């Protein structure tokens, strides 16, 4: 495939994601709707199943949790007071607001999202968060995760929840993560990854892309990308049970995806929830 074809595919993929996630934001609810990733399951139930506590869920402004999680990167990151946190693909601000409570008034959390409707929705939740917590330590910026609107070596921790799989240029995302992290900084990502390649019919499906499956790559490929940008101490944990839960929440999207799989197989044979942590080496 030539360079122009690659660029056109990237543009098409971004356009699909921006349009579909913009619809989710404008509908004023969660992704748990008629064309969602979790059928009729409430967003808080989805979050609870992937590791969020009742306390965390209770402290989030209404509408920030949109059922878009496939793990809890905030918990894995072990955030500390005073740290600067960056959330890639912040959506309605769910993980941003949870992280903001953990870093406290001396810390700061920046959420980046490429969908204007999502950024508007997240910003609309800020005043409620300030009123409830007394904290003024969050902000939301419009931008692509392949070209982060964040200065070099300015962030203590990068988090991301089920977003990197949507990027058509994942090596660039990991390069940006390495760029913005301070020496000694760390990254905590929850994402979907492949245990084995998906059939072409699923990989080419726009529904599967929006549902975070078609854009996923093999676990070993993620490992190589992280190593290539110089991040170290990488730890990978897979959890295929998450996909079995998603099958229980199945709606039209997941029925279509399952129909594209070989007979006798299920989504969890191909796709897993993946937790990744890594660090940027301290330079002299």
Task: Determine what percent of the chain is predicted with pLDDT higher than 90.
Answer: 46
CB-CB contact of 90 with 118 (8 Å): yes
* pTM score: 0.82
CB-CB contact of 31 with 37 (8 Å): yes
Residue owning tokens 């089920």: 162
| Nearest Cα residue to 192 out of 212, 221, 169, 168 | 212
Residue length, the chain?
284
Asked if pLDDT for residue 139 goes beyond 80, the answer is yes
- Residue 46 to residues 16, 50, 282: CA-CA distances in angstroms? 24, 7, 37
Residue 36 domain-assigned (yes or no): yes
How many angstroms separate the most distant Cα atoms in the chain? 55
Residue 228 domain-assigned (yes or no): yes
- Three-state DSSP at 277 gives strand
Residue 120 domain-assigned (yes or no): yes
CB-CB contact of 122 with 140 (8 Å): yes
Provide the domain count of the chain.
1
DSSP per position, 163-198: -GGG-S-HHHHHHHHHHHEEEEEEEEEEEEEESSPP
pLDDT at 200: 77
CB-CB contact of 208 with 214 (8 Å): yes
6-31: pLDDT as tens digits: 444 555 655 656 666 555 556 654 44
* Number of neighbouring beta carbons within 10 Å of residue 231: 22
Quote the domain boundaries for residue 155: 3-279
| Nearest Cα residue to 205 out of 164, 272, 257 | 257
Assigned token pair, 15: 């356009």
How far is the C-alpha of 250 from the C-alpha of 256, rounded, in Å?
10
Residue 254 domain-assigned (yes or no): yes
Looking up residue 191, the CATH number of its domain turns out to be 3.40.50.150
pLDDT band at 39 (very low <50, low <70, confident <90, very high): very low
73-132: pLDDT as tens digits: 898 899 999 999 999 999 889 999 999 999 999 999 999 999 898 899 999 999 999 999
Task: Determine what percent of the chain is predicted with pLDDT higher than 70.
Answer: 71
Residue 103 domain-assigned (yes or no): yes
Residue owning tokens 């989504």: 267
Asked if pLDDT for residue 248 goes beyond 70, the answer is no
Assigned token pair, 158: 């990068």
pLDDT at 111: 97
Residue 284 domain-assigned (yes or no): no
Residue 86 domain-assigned (yes or no): yes
How far is the C-alpha of 256 from the C-alpha of 68, rounded, in Å?
19
β pairing state of 138-142 and 84-88: unpaired
171-223: pLDDT as tens digits: 999 999 999 999 999 999 998 898 988 877 776 665 554 555 667 889 999 99
């Amino acid at each position: 495939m030539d360079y122009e074809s690659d660029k056109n595919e990237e543009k098409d993929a971004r356009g699909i994601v921006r349009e579909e996630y913009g619809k989710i934001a404008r509908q004023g609810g969660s992704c748990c709707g008629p064309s969602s990733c979790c059928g009729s399951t409430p967003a808080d139930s989805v979050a609870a199943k992937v590791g969020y506590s009742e306390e965390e869920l209770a402290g989030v402004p209404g509408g920030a949790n949109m059922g878009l999680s496939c793990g809890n990167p905030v918990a894995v990151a072990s955030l500390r007071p005073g740290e600067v946190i960056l959330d890639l693909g912040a959506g309605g601000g769910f993980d941003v607001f949870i992280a903001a409570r953990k870093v406290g008034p001396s810390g700061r959390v920046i959420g980046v999202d490429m969908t204007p409707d999502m950024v508007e929705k997240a910003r609309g939740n800020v005043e409620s968060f300030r009123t409830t917590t007394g904290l003024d330590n969050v902000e939301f910026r419009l931008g692509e995760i392949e070209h982060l609107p964040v200065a070099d070596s300015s962030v203590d921790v990068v988090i991301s929840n089920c977003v990197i799989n949507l990027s058509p240029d994942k090596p660039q995302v990991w390069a940006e993560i390495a760029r913005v992290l301070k020496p000694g900084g760390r990254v905590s990502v929850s994402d979907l990854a492949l245990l084995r390649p998906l059939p072409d019919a699923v990989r080419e499906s726009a529904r599967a892309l929006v549902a975070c499956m078609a854009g996923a790559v093999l676990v070993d490929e993620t490992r190589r990308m992280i190593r290539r940008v110089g991040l170290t101490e990488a730890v990978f944990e897979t959890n295929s049970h998450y996909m079995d839960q998603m099958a229980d929440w199945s709606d039209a999207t997941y029925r279509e995806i399952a129909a594209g799989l070989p007979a006798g197989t299920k989504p969890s044979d191909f796709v897993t929830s993946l937790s990744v942590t890594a660090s940027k080496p301290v330079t002299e």
